[in-house]
Amino acid sequence: MRRIDARSLRGVAHPLRMKILEAIEVSGPATSTTLATRLGENTGTISWHLRLLAEHGYLEEDTERGSKRERWWRIPKGTTTLDPADLDDDPETSGALRAYLSYLAERYFSRVRNYLGESWSIEWRSAASLSDWRNLRLSPDQLHALNAELCEVINRYEAMDPGPDAERVVVQFQSFPQRPEES
């Protein structure tokens, strides 16, 4: 597991770098040329951002695919976590943290919107879920424990053999406190 610290957060909290990471997460390893075409940027700009992402540990060179002329990039194995409490001592990261979390929230919403606009079989529509639970009352420790248990369940499913009828599935989970609405 890799924890995002203040320095690596500033390294990733850039709109193009976050798009690069998502493109590789969704479509797999890529070169600067394929990413430049996909993202509508020039290869030099993409190459610079790829090297910066690698410097901060978000990407690594895929040497099995590469050649002297063509460098492939992939996401390293393992999970990356962000605990905002780790950044309390560095007020300079507040803008980067807001930018990073705002981008993630927009991407999560976009994924749901895309799913709703697509045509899926009745089996997949019945299996999917857009749910929320608004009446939980938890302490910070209880919320932390809930999140940890849900991650354990997801990790168990991630390790399973998917079977022949499997599709790529996105599990989005948000949990946060909510103040009462004022009337």
Cα(120)–Cα(170) distance, integer angstroms: 14
| Residue 49: per-residue pLDDT | 97
Under 8 Å CB-to-CB from 48, ≥6 apart: which residues? none
pTM across the whole model = 0.73
Across the 183 residues of the chain, what is the mean pLDDT of every consecutive 10-residue run?
A: 85 91 92 96 96 94 83 91 80 83 89 91 92 90 94 93 92 81 59
Q: Which H helix or E strand runs over 64?
A: none
Two tokens, residue 32: 């600067």
Contact 80, 4 (CB under 8 A): yes
Q: What is the CATH number of domain 2-118?
A: 1.10.10.10
Among residues 107, 13, 99, the alpha carbon closest in space to that of 56 is found at: 13
Report the alpha-carbon distance of residue 123 to residue 8 in Å, rounded: 41
Say how far apart CA 36 and CA 28 lie, in whole Å.
15
